[in-house]
Each structure stands twice: as structure tokens, then as C-alpha cells.
Amino acid sequence: MKRLSVAILVFSVLTALTFIACKKDKNNYRLDVHLTDAPAAFEEVNVDIESIKVKLREDSAGWVSLDTKAGVYNLLGLQGVDSLIATAVLPSNYVQEIRFYLGTDNTIKVGGQTYPLVMDNGTQTKLMIKVDKQINGTLDSLTLDWDANLSVVQEGNGTYRLSPVITVKE
């Protein structure tokens, strides 16, 4: 009889812990952000990604920093593949926007020469992408297609300007 009571107590505790753990998981949503690119008429298009944040539907959450694999990415090296660049466990299941923070080591290689690639206004370091996506379940991912061919503009003075064209693929 004593064994039965101990078994029932152990079963009850395990059931309660499982219920608490499952309930807690329903309030956390994992998001993975991938980056890919289509072909372009350049040898390299390098963007310096420093960090990525997401804006959730709930205003109280504000901008949430993702665990970002910071570095310089050659967009043309991502043709036909995608690269995991950021991940996070979020307190909400609805992502409104993604914000890229870029460094200053953005370059383009054309005809064997490497040139600086400046943002539209010369100083802008962040890109905002409207997403409006609900995360389903405990793991979801977004693939961002950064179109290098449409994102680079050659100016009349021979300089190159980065005017990002990024679409969300599901």
C-alpha cells in the first residue's frame, strides 16, 4: 500500500511538472531568420550585418534583439541556398517588422576592383522590413531574399549605392 501511495505521489508530481512546462512553452515562440539571394551581374556584393531585431505586435515588448551571426555576407554566395543568420525565442507569436543594423564594411566587386557600397543617404545603418507574420507553434522560420542585382545602383560619378530590395519568402 505504501508503494502505491509513493507511486501515485510521484506520478502526480511528474504530471504537474509536465503541465507547467507545456504551459510555459506555449508562451514562447522560436524564430529563425535565413538569408538568400538571386543571381546578379557583379562578382561580389558584401553587406556587413551587425545585428537583427524584431518588432512584435505587443507594444510593451518593443524591439527584441535576435541572436545574430554578425559578419560580412557576400550575397552572391547565397544564391540557391539560405544561411541562418539569426534566431531567438520570442514572448509573442506575431512579428510585425525586422530591422537589420548594418556596419560600414559594405563593398561591391566589379571587374576585379572592390568599391565601397554606401547606403542611400550615406549614413543610414538600419533597414526596416515589414513582415506581419504569425509564428506557428514552437518553431518557425523566415527566409529573407535580398536581391543584390536590384539593390545596387551605380551612380554617374562611378560610385555604388546600396538601396536594399528585400522580400520575405515563406
Q: What pLDDT score does 139 carry? A: 62
Domain segments of the chain as ranges: 28-169
Query: DSSP letter at 149?
Result: H
pLDDT one-digit tens code per residue, 109-151: 999 999 999 886 655 578 888 888 887 766 688 888 888 888 9
What is the SS3 assignment for 38? coil
Please state which of the ranges 46-50, 65-69, 140-144 shows the lowest mean pLDDT: 140-144
Q: What pLDDT score does 21 carry? A: 42
Query: DSSP letter at 111?
Result: T
Query: Between residues 75 and 6, which one has the greater pLDDT?
Result: 75
Query: Between residues 15 and 32, which one has the greater pLDDT?
Result: 32
**Residue keyed to cell 551571426:** 69
Q: What pLDDT score does 168 carry? A: 85
- Asked if 30 and 88 touch (Cβ cutoff 8 Å), the reply is yes
**Residue keyed to cell 547606403:** 119
Q: What pLDDT score does 124 carry? A: 57
Q: What pLDDT score does 17 carry? A: 39
Provide the mean pLDDT of the chain.
78
> For residue 67, what pLDDT band results from cuts at 50, 70 and 90?
very high
pLDDT one-digit tens code per residue, 140-150: 888 888 888 88
CATH number of 28-169: 2.60.40
**Residue keyed to cell 501515485:** 8
Note the pTM of the prediction, 2 decimals: 0.75
